[in-house]
Structure 1
Amino acid sequence: MNTVSKTPDGPKTGTPTDSAFQNSLKSSDTEEQIDIWFYRPIGYQIARFCARVGITPNTVTIISIFFGVAAGILFYDQSLAINVIGMLLLVFANSLDSADGQLARMTNNKSRLGRILDGAAGDFWFISIHVAICLRSMEEGWTALIWVPGVVAGLSHIVQSAMADYYRNVHLYFIKGTSGSELDNSRDLQKEYDQLSWSKNFWMKLVARNYLNYTKLQESISPNLQQLLAVIRLKFPNGLPPKLVTDFRAQNKPLMKYTNIVQFNTRVLFLFLWLFIDQAWIYFFFDIFVLNPILIYMCVQQEKVSRHFYQQLQTSRENEYQAL
């Protein structure tokens, strides 16, 4: 389903301004300033190179996993010089993570597998980082109990990333339609999963099972949003009315900054700070006691926005949100 929004969403910054670069971005509504200033320009140059030599987005994602995991391993060492090398590797891994999406949009080579790999890449990075910090902390005198906050922070990170990614794609779905978002639903994924055979498609079925569970987690935390999306699919099968797109964007856009806070850049800036002062264990408590409250606030506010528009669609006059 495509929207009819004509709202320009290219970034208004000092980054490259050619149309190819602009088209490699998702939307200025959902892009973070650090990404627009730093990661997207680097990712764009990497994507251009990969497009010329025929490297696929999925290959870029897989390469990023190795750099991200290597970064985590280097955080185990208590030498700041080694840690800085790890920081640089992690920054490069995230540049590759930016490049794979930009390359997919530049070459129109998007796939469900690519989306799954992209999400899994960050999980591999941070599993490595959490394990390294736990082992490092034990070397520094902590007991094995450090694994408790390490695991809790890791689970928190999974939920934070899942919901931030989901809300971003919901926003893109409203302003760009299905062609501009990667919004999936468990109903369709369940049908695809059921069609796969464990004997003939073991790995794909395993991947599909994990992604189905991931999507169900996102949906379970956003019941009001699920009601809104169900009504929208029923009432507007051919596209969203411009007024609904404009109204939703106005109310939902302020929440996008919270999706950015609980994603990569904020957590990594603080992780680097804790490493510089040789107190890496603080990262776990920052994740649990700072980022989790932001996650909760983000979810609560998004549910309020969803409930508002659900009620509007249920009670609005016939001509308020006309179907296309």
Structure 2
Amino acid sequence: MSSKGFFSEYDKSIKNRIVEEGYDLYFSRPCGYVLAKFFHKLKFTPTNISVLGMLIGVTGGVLLYWQDVLLYTSIGFVLVTFAGLMDSADGQAARIYDQRSEMGKYLDFFNDMLVFISCYLFGLLYFTDTYTLAGILALGLTSGYVHSIKSNLYEYYKGEFLHFSLTDSKHRNPPVDHIKENFDRTSSLLRKVTYPVLIDYVKRQNKIKFRSDETTRIFEEAREQDPQKFKEIYERNSRKMLAGWAWVCGSNVMRNGILVSSLFGRIDIYVIANIASYGLYLLVGKKQNQVDRRILNEIEDWDLTSLERTSAAEVQ
């Protein structure tokens, strides 16, 4: 089979080129596509690929403990990077072979969380003598919290973009009540463990997102009234914001920051920089609010119930 024939399903395997980062488009997705095809030949399901990638990534994270041994940190670098490719491959396999599932979507972020916890935990334990165990615990928890907030919000705005650009609404998280009513947490231990993490993830996302529920309702009404016109308005105004969220909050930036700093034996510097980046995160959020207001201004003459209700409340 020619390379062209082999990659004939590549476009089907990715979400949308607009929301894909350059790192993903030119590295993660092509490699993930090859891995998806390879593991499909071995009869692996997307969930199998995801779990295997998590185990590889956690192992790589453990190796970051030995930051004074370049061989170990180099192997850790390779394993965590490969886990990132596997994380791409599972979703691509699901799209290529129509094996998408709600559990697969949730398993992705759960596995990512375990890999990053492993990297932070073992990478920082190397510096116990420098910062003391209490200091390491404080740094790790603070950086992990900032990491989770940034990652959560980036995924939220990617999901919103895919939804309002009429690409794929499946990447939006459903309401918490919907998850509680529909998520099957009785069939396996994995589901039982994933459920509380998922509930916390969605609750936190709803709490920290910069976009108000009222703004979302207005956008939804505009999308329903004239899908194509609102798609054009939303894409034109929000496209550049995706790059801002990616540079400040993207998993690729955070993963590579951890790995490169570990190669130099100074993951602590990255952790401190990550905590400091919370200020940048707030700036991006403020810019996002400005973009949302610009969208609202463009549709202010539309006949929308929510928009009228909001205007009336502002007058009062």
Normalised to the residue count of structure 2, the TM-score between the two structures is 0.85
Over 3 Å counting, the alpha-carbon distance change for 1:318 and 1:226 in structure 2 is: closer
Shift in Å at residue 72 of structure 1? 0.9
Mapped to 1, the partners of 2:184 and 2:30 lie a distance apart of 42
Over 3 Å counting, the alpha-carbon distance change for 1:32 and 1:17 in structure 2 is: farther
Q: What do residues 190-227 of structure 1 show as CA deviations (whole Å, max 9, x unaligned)?
A: 14414679888886466334323311211222353432
Q: Structure 1 counterpart of 2:138, which letter?
A: V
Equivalent position of 2:208 in the other structure: 221
Over 3 Å counting, the alpha-carbon distance change for 1:17 and 1:260 in structure 2 is: farther
Over 3 Å counting, the alpha-carbon distance change for 1:27 and 1:134 in structure 2 is: same
Q: Is the 8 A contact 1:165 1:259 kept in 2?
A: no
Shift in Å at residue 17 of structure 1? 9.7
Equivalent position of 1:268 in the other structure: 255
Q: Which of 244, 261, 286 matches 2:230?
A: 244
Q: Is the 8 A contact 1:225 1:306 kept in 2?
A: no
Over 3 Å counting, the alpha-carbon distance change for 1:70 and 1:202 in structure 2 is: closer
Over 3 Å counting, the alpha-carbon distance change for 1:66 and 1:259 in structure 2 is: same
Q: Structure 1 counterpart of 2:128, which letter?
A: M
The Cα RMSD (Å) is 2.7
Q: Is the 8 A contact 2:50 2:90 kept in 1?
A: yes
Shift in Å at residue 143 of structure 1? 1.3
Shift in Å at residue 318 of structure 1? 4.5
1:259 and 2:245 aligned:
yes
Q: Which of 286, 299, 305 matches 1:300?
A: 286
1:69 and 2:58 aligned:
yes
Mapped to 2, the partners of 1:233 and 1:205 lie a distance apart of 33
Q: Is the 8 A contact 1:29 1:253 kept in 2?
A: yes
Equivalent position of 2:311 in the other structure: none
Please give the secondary structure, in 2, of the residue aligned with 1:281.
helix
1:131 and 2:121 aligned:
yes
Equivalent position of 2:295 in the other structure: 309
Q: What do residues 139-158 of structure 1 show as CA deviations (whole Å, max 9, x unaligned)?
A: 5x331212211110011111
Over 3 Å counting, the alpha-carbon distance change for 1:158 and 1:149 in structure 2 is: same
Q: Structure 2 counterpart of 1:46, which letter?
A: L
Shift in Å at residue 45 of structure 1? 0.5
1:58 and 2:47 aligned:
yes
Equivalent position of 1:26 in the other structure: 15
Q: Is the 8 A contact 1:169 1:182 kept in 2?
A: yes
Unaligned runs of 5+ in 1: 1-14, 320-324
Query: Whose RCO is larger (CA < 8 A, sep 6+)?
Result: 1
Matches within 5 A, 1:284-299: 284-290=271-277, 292-299=278-285
Please give the secondary structure, in 1, of the residue aligned with 2:267.
coil
Matches within 5 A, 1:195-234: 204=191, 207-222=194-209, 224-234=211-221
Mapped to 2, the partners of 1:44 and 1:275 lie a distance apart of 28
Question: Percent identity among equivalent residues?
Answer: 22
Shift in Å at residue 16 of structure 1? 9.7
Q: What do residues 274-300 of structure 1 show as CA deviations (whole Å, max 9, x unaligned)?
A: 22322221121111113x223222222
Q: Is the 8 A contact 1:160 1:295 kept in 2?
A: yes
Shift in Å at residue 82 of structure 1? 0.7
Over 3 Å counting, the alpha-carbon distance change for 1:79 and 1:73 in structure 2 is: same
- Bigger Cα displacement from structure 2, 241-250 vs 16-25: 16-25
Equivalent position of 1:99 in the other structure: 89
Q: Structure 1 counterpart of 2:137, which letter?
A: W
Q: Which of 143, 168, 180 matches 2:132?
A: 143
Mapped to 1, the partners of 2:302 and 2:6 lie a distance apart of 43
- Bigger Cα displacement from structure 2, 220-229 vs 30-39: 220-229
Please give the secondary structure, in 2, of the residue aligned with 1:142.
helix
- Bigger Cα displacement from structure 2, 21-30 vs 304-313: 304-313
Equivalent position of 1:279 in the other structure: 266
Over 3 Å counting, the alpha-carbon distance change for 1:279 and 1:200 in structure 2 is: closer
Q: Structure 2 counterpart of 1:103, which letter?
A: A
Q: Structure 1 counterpart of 2:27, which letter?
A: F
Equivalent position of 2:109 in the other structure: 119
Mapped to 1, the partners of 2:14 and 2:146 lie a distance apart of 28
Mapped to 1, the partners of 2:76 and 2:257 lie a distance apart of 14
Shift in Å at residue 36 of structure 1? 1.3
Mapped to 2, the partners of 1:212 and 1:309 lie a distance apart of 30
Q: Is the 8 A contact 2:57 2:79 kept in 1?
A: yes
Mapped to 2, the partners of 1:26 and 1:200 lie a distance apart of 29
Q: Structure 2 counterpart of 1:60, which letter?
A: I
Equivalent position of 2:35 in the other structure: 46
Equivalent position of 1:12 in the other structure: none
Mapped to 2, the partners of 1:191 and 1:30 lie a distance apart of 26
Shift in Å at residue 170 of structure 1? 0.6
Shift in Å at residue 65 of structure 1? 0.9
Aligned residues: 298
Shift in Å at residue 110 of structure 1? 1.4
